[in-house]
A and B are shown apart, each in its own frame.
Chain A
Amino acid sequence: MVEFLQFTLSGVVFGMVYAAIALSLVLIWRGTRLLNFAQGGMAMFTTFIALEVVYKTGEYWAGFVVALAAGILLGAVVELIVIRPTIGRPELNSVIVTIGLLIMLEGLAGIFYGGQYRSFPTAFSITGLHAGRTPLGVSRFDVFVAVAVLVTTLLLAIAFRYSTAGLRMRAAAFNATVARLSGIRVARVLTVGWALAGLLGALAGVLISPSTFLYPNSMDSIFVYGFTAAVIGGLDSPPGAVAGGLILGVGLSYVGGYVGGGRGSDLTAIVAMGILVLVLMLRPAGIFGGSVLRRV
């Protein structure tokens, strides 16, 4: 019973990070109808920048803030310089461009920072919390991870739902033609969407790197998990992305804990792939696929 609780809680924590990546993919998908394969690479890169800042200043929070700012900036710059020229061309072009960007970012990280594994600091203690005598299997920092993603997600949700800028973004995503005819500068809105996606990715990178170490490929598997989570959620639905992240996080945590006599953690990547394939085969619109038929 205690084990179950521990696996569940730690699954939720990882799940929240997958949810952040999934959300960033959904944001871009809704705006641009494009899967950004460089999302993990961008997060890795901003996390390296954060690590530099932490080294230089000795201050975790300086690195944290710089990572988020760098994420926003990188997202916007990538949209403006790399993605915009591909819009209106065959979709495969932009997909390949994001893969190229991923390779470039990972190469640059290798050149600037080297290929070795770096440990990334945490903001809070990583010793396990207890409820009475029962160890919960999560630390204070893990709680911070979950709360940070939750708060960011809620803030974004509120902004999208209630602000004029949020309405503008939703209008642009759902029907770009009507939005443009109403005077909304859709191109500018897309840049903002990419910037917000960059923010979420950067957040995920800073939060997960203490657990995974940081190296040029360190976000690859996290990206696959985030992508799987987004697909589970339907790729089009922000609440679906969060739910997909949690389902995947908890599910993989059980696999890692219960399957293969403690060696289950080797299986998680394969299981995640399996889930991805299954969902795409059985329910391509995702489990939460509120894929309302769209009249055009």
Chain B
Amino acid sequence: MSEQAALAADGLVAGYGGVTALDGVTISAGLATITAVLGANGAGKTTLLRTISGLVKPRRGRIQIHGADLTGHGPEDMARNGVAHVPEGHSVIAELTVEENLRIGMMSGKTSRADRGARLAEAYERFRPLADRRRKLAATLSGGERQMLAIARALLARPRVLLLDEPSLGLAPRVMAQVMDMVVRLSRENGITIVLVEQNARGALAIADTGVVLNLGRVVATADAQTLAQDVALRHHYLGF
């Protein structure tokens, strides 16, 4: 299945203390695709992202990014190898300014000062509202702006694989639609491979290429997004719509 998968996780087993949150999860994402990871609370969605980004060490299994085996590497190394993870909850550093938050996104590799300036300018071009608030503390931003900032910071690292955990959580419907739009553009225009964890299954499947449904730490369905969205039994059983 991996004719050059951008991301391949194979048989991941991971957990916290005595609790097994992932019990042999295998997923594979092709270049520049969007994969929606769905499931109820406690299904292991967040743990899956945390394991791929290195925050949680897998007990078993392998993680490959563009063919390179990076199993067991910490998040610092994963970031340096092109994996960006935006954890849930608008993960910005509230005590720092908007621009400082963005600069943190450029610390995973060696970049020249001129290059950093150009990347910042590009980020402000894409995310206009951030440009107006660049000297303000991130604490002063609205929920939507925070999510925008968190994603902008992740993008400044020029990732090849972007892991998004509940990017639409707590956002107004209109802002949520904007975030989803942006996710689509990132994959289509920038060629970034995206793994999207969402509570909002309907919205996620609408933009995804592939859907993966987790239940109690195991994959119960993998299919292209349209097929999943039309599978009434599966929807009722695991996705609640």
Question: What's the Cα separation between A184 and B78 when bound, in Å?
Answer: 11
Q: Residues of B contacting A292 with CB < 8 Å?
A: 94-95, 139
Does A263 interact with chain B (Cβ within 8 Å)?
no
Question: What's the Cα separation between A52 and B104 when bound, in Å?
Answer: 44
Question: What's the Cα separation between A243 and B214 when bound, in Å?
Answer: 53
Question: What's the Cα separation between A105 and B53 when bound, in Å?
Answer: 41
Question: What's the Cα separation between A223 and B94 when bound, in Å?
Answer: 32
Q: Residues of A contacting B53 with CB < 8 Å?
A: 181
- Nearest-CB residue, chain A, relative to B83: A181
Does B144 interact with chain A (Cβ within 8 Å)?
no
- Nearest-CB residue, chain B, relative to A173: B95
Does A261 interact with chain B (Cβ within 8 Å)?
no
Does A170 interact with chain B (Cβ within 8 Å)?
yes
- Which A residues between 150 and 178 are near B, CB-CB below 8 angstroms? 164, 167-168, 170-171, 174-175, 177-178
Give the interface size class of chain A.
Answer: 20 to 34
Q: Given the interface contacts A177-B87, A180-B55, A180-B74, does A171 sit within 8 Å of B96 by beta carbon?
A: yes
Does A179 interact with chain B (Cβ within 8 Å)?
yes
Question: By the criterion of a CB under 8 Å from any partner CB, how many residues of chain B are at the interface?
Answer: 28
Does A295 interact with chain B (Cβ within 8 Å)?
yes
Q: How far is the CB of A59 from chain B (nearest CB, A)?
A: 41
* Number of cross-chain contacts by CB at 8 Å: 73
Does A125 interact with chain B (Cβ within 8 Å)?
no
Encoded as 1 (CB less than 8 Å from any A CB) or 0, chain B from 97 to 117 comes to 000100111011100000000
Does A294 interact with chain B (Cβ within 8 Å)?
yes
Q: Given the interface contacts A180-B74, A181-B75, A182-B107, does A174 sit within 8 Å of B89 by beta carbon?
A: no
Contact B96 A181 (CB under 8 A): no
Q: How far is the CB of B146 from chain A (nearest CB, A)?
A: 9
Q: How far is the CB of A174 from chain B (nearest CB, A)?
A: 5
With beta carbons under 8 angstroms apart, the residue of B55, B76, B91, B105 that contacts A185 is B76
Encoded as 1 (CB less than 8 Å from any B CB) or 0, chain A from 173 to 202 comes to 011011111111110000000000000000
Q: Is the interface of B mostly helix, strand, loop or mixed?
A: loop
Contact A182 B157 (CB under 8 A): yes
Q: How far is the CB of B48 from chain A (nearest CB, A)?
A: 15
Contact B100 A167 (CB under 8 A): yes
Q: How far is the CB of A102 from chain B (nearest CB, A)?
A: 31
Does A2 interact with chain B (Cβ within 8 Å)?
no
Question: What's the Cα separation between A164 and B108 when bound, in Å?
Answer: 12
Q: Residues of A contacting B84 with CB < 8 Å?
A: 181
Contact A167 B89 (CB under 8 A): no
Question: What's the Cα separation between A171 and B139 when bound, in Å?
Answer: 14
Contact B93 A184 (CB under 8 A): no
Contact A178 B104 (CB under 8 A): yes
Q: How far is the CB of A154 from chain B (nearest CB, A)?
A: 20
With beta carbons under 8 angstroms apart, the residue of B80, B87, B90 that contacts A183 is B80
Q: Residues of A contacting B96 with CB < 8 Å?
A: 167, 170-171, 174
Q: Residues of B contacting A170 with CB < 8 Å?
A: 93, 95-96, 100
Q: Can you offer 20 A-B residue contacts whose CB atoms are under 8 A?
A: A170-B96, A174-B94, A174-B96, A175-B91, A178-B91, A180-B74, A180-B79, A181-B55, A181-B85, A181-B87, A182-B104, A182-B157, A183-B79, A183-B80, A184-B107, A186-B76, A292-B94, A292-B95, A295-B89, A295-B90
Given contacts A183-B80, A296-B89, 10 further A-B contacts (CB under 8 A): A164-B103, A170-B96, A170-B100, A174-B93, A175-B91, A180-B55, A183-B109, A183-B157, A184-B108, A292-B95
Closest 3 CB pairs of A and B: A183-B108, A183-B79, A180-B75
